[in-house]
Amino acid sequence: MSAVASSDGVTIVLPDTTPPLAIATVNDGTGADIDTATSAIQLSANWSPSSDPESGIARYWYAIGTSPGATNTVNWTDNATSTAVTLTGLSLATGILIISP
C-alpha cells in the first residue's frame, strides 16, 4: 500500500500496483558474485538495493537452500531494510549452487 498525503492534510492510501525493481546483484561478503558455498559453517551475502517508486521498500527477505529456489537450509527470514547478512553455525556442503541469478 502506498500512502499519499493530499493538500488538505488527509492521508489517502492507494494500492501499490507495481512490484519492486529486481535486485541487480547478490554478492558474497567480499563483493564477488555469489553462486557457491565456500565455507561449510558461514555464509555472507550483500545485494544491491531495490526500489519501488510507489511505496518504497519496507524489508528484504532471504533464504538458503541446496538447490535454486529451495529453502531447506534456512527458511525465508526477514532482514528488515538491511542489504547484507552473515550467518554462522550452518551446515553447508561447499561447492554447491546456493542461488541462481
Q: Rounded to the nearest 5°, which phi and psi values hold at 44?
A: -120, 140
pLDDT tens digit sequence for 15-27: 788 888 888 777 7
> What sign does the CA torsion over 35, 36, 38, 44 have?
positive
In whole angstroms, give the CA distance from residue 84 to residue 80.
Answer: 10
Instruction: Count Cβ atoms below 10 Å from residue 58 Cβ, excluding itself.
Output: 11
Amino acid sitting at position 58: A
Residue 17 lies in a domain: no
Query: Residue 62's domain spans which residues?
Result: 23-101
Q: How many CA atoms lie within 13 A of 36 on its CB side?
A: 5
Residue 41 lies in a domain: yes
Domains in the chain, number: 1
Residue 14 lies in a domain: no
What pTM value is reported for the model? 0.70
Q: Give the pLDDT score at 29.
A: 65
Residue 77 lies in a domain: yes
Residue 44 lies in a domain: yes
Residue 75 lies in a domain: yes
